[in-house]
Amino acid sequence: MTYKLPKFTREEVLEMDHKYNVHSWSAQKALKNIIPVEKSEGIYFYDYNGKRYADMCSQLVNMNLGHGNQQIIDAIKEQAEQLCFIAPGQSVGIRAALAKKIVEHAPEGMSRVFFTNGGADSNENAIKMARQASGKQKVLSMYRSYHGATITAGNVSGDSRRFAAEIGGSAPGIVHFFGPFPYREEIEFESEEALTEYYLKMLRKQIIAEGHNNIAAIILETVIGANGVILPPKGYLAGIRALCDEYGIFMICDEVMAGFGRTGTWFAVDNWNVSPDMITFAKGVNSGYVQLGGIIMNEKVASHFDDVALQCGLTYQGHPLACASAYASIEYIEEHNILDNVQKVGKVLGECLEELAAKHACVGEVRYIGLFSAIDLVKNKETKEPIAEYAVDTTGNQKKVVAKCKELGFYTYGRDNCIQICPPLIITEEELREQMKVLDEVLTWADNEFCK
């Protein structure tokens, strides 16, 4: 007899969820309007009442190939029939083949992969590797970044969530620096290049002040993701690469969100022709079908551990089911020209966002690359006053915008005064335009609600 999972009613789901589950980043009694999801397909998911939601943030910017991708599902099934789990110390064909495929798509100079369970694990272990390989302890990271919620990754993060990580214990040797954010810059620069030059000079000063012989790594999101899709200005990433080379510091690019096609290239660093020492990844590597993350490293990092024991390990790293889903996911990207679709539909997304920025008083700026975008919401375009203050908001204004989107079937999220528009990479132009009309309606409401 074939085993079947139990079925639940909407009421049973909500009752059990409320009674037994604890939700992240939330005061449990304050949770309202949780969607009881029954099924999903393509760029949509549905609640038990049949209401359809367009997944315009790919859940947590991870379901890049959408819901119900049969190729990925079949790969998981086939691998489960052959081998569900074996300890990481064994050799497994699908894990080895996946590492090879990832390296083949990685920037020049990348040579090996260390698998983890997710994004925070990837950053945590990349920092451990940098410290081991360099013999140094300090790590520099950028304000507004997010690298995960574990103790080290949380402390390395540059947004307010690091305060929660510090409750569990402050991680030693973490130093934050300010990176460029042109829209909210208080200094007027005559050009993008001048802005880049200024911030690289400031970073150099901080490296010297902290003692370059003490710094193991600089870690940064190639494109800042959850905190507003902030793109690096011209020359900035190359400048950090040069500083790292000059002072013997490892450069770690966090591409947990930006990797595997989100920006229209395999990795976001490809847009700026930079090859870091390590790239951390998760999310899009297999569209979230099974937990998986990892670190792609160059030979400078990898070769250190040829004769020195790597002091990193996780029971479920490179889980065979996760690797099978990732291998099928990458093949799907290759076979269905997903990168071309991201570039084509991403261009339409940019045009739609610019139209919304011109039309709506509440839109201060739109930022986008590929299908990776955010809207900076303001009360006043001239003063750039945000609808919600960074890290200290007590108004709940941004949450009201997100709730309005959800009410109209446009599912997204964001932080502070920004909302994300990061749909699955399989979205069509027609589907995108349909949903941007819904967003237009939400922003009209926000104009009347917040703008002075």
Separation of alpha carbons 292 and 401, rounded Å = 32
Helices 320-335 & 338-359, crossing angle to 10 degrees?
Answer: 80
**Predicted confidence (pLDDT) per residue in 402-413, tens digit:** 999 999 999 999
Distance in angstroms (rounded) separating the CA atoms of residues 407 and 218: 41
Residues 185-233: tens digit of each pLDDT: 989 999 999 999 999 999 999 999 999 999 999 999 999 999 999 999 9
**Residues 6+ away with beta carbon under 8 Å from 11:** none
State the pLDDT confidence band at 235, using cuts at 50, 70 and 90.
very high
Beta-strand relationship, 410-411 and 52-55: parallel
Strands (E), 255-384: 278-281, 293-298, 363-369, 372-380
Q: What is the pLDDT of residue 342?
A: 98
CB-based contact 225:57 (threshold 8 Å): no
**Residue 432 to residues 135, 151, 336, 361, 422: CA-CA distances in angstroms?**
49, 38, 18, 22, 11
For 212, the 3-state DSSP assignment is: helix
Report the alpha-carbon distance of residue 144 to residue 159 in Å, rounded: 5
- Tokens describing residue 439: 């967003």
For the residues 340-354, what does the mean pLDDT come to?
98
Q: What is the mean pLDDT of residues 388-402?
A: 90
Residue 366 pLDDT more than 90?
A: yes
Q: Parallel, antiparallel, or unpaired: how do β-strands 110-116 and 293-298 relate? A: antiparallel
Give the residue among 352, 357, 185, 369 at the shortest CA–CA distance from 265: 369
- The pLDDT, as a whole number, for residue 30 is 84
Taking each helix axis from N to C end, the angle separating 429-450 and 397-407, rounded to the nearest 10 degrees, works out to: 140
d(CA 433, CA 380): 27
- How far is the C-alpha of 362 from the C-alpha of 381, rounded, in Å? 7
CA angle 141, 145, 147 (to 5 degrees): 85
Mean model confidence pLDDT for the chain: 96
Mean pLDDT of 45-68: 98
**End-to-end CA gap in the chain:** 65
Given 3-state DSSP classes, what are the helix, strand and coil percentages for the chain, each rounded to the nearest 5?
45, 15, 40
Query: Up-side HSE of residue 276: CA atoms within 13 Å toward CB?
Result: 29
Task: Report which of 413, 425, 37, 368 is spatially closest to residue 231, judged by C-alpha positions.
Answer: 368
* pLDDT confidence of residue 388: 93
- Per-residue pLDDT at 165: 66
pLDDT reading at 358 higher than 80: yes
Convert the pLDDT of each residue in 99-143 to its tens digit: 999 999 999 999 999 999 999 999 999 999 999 999 999 999 999
Render pLDDT for 283-308 as a digit per residue (tens, 0 to 9).
Answer: 999 999 999 999 999 999 999 999 99
The pLDDT value given to residue 392: 83
> For residues 372 and 438, what is the distance between their CA atoms, to the nearest angstrom?
18
- Confidence category of residue 27, pLDDT binned at 50, 70, 90: confident
> Domains in the chain, ordered, with CATH?
10-68+337-451 (3.90.1150.10), 71-336 (3.40.640.10)
| DSSP, residue by residue, 165-203 | HHHH-PPTTEEEE----GGG-SS--SSHHHHHHHHHHHH
The pLDDT tens digits for 267-287 are 999 999 999 999 999 999 999
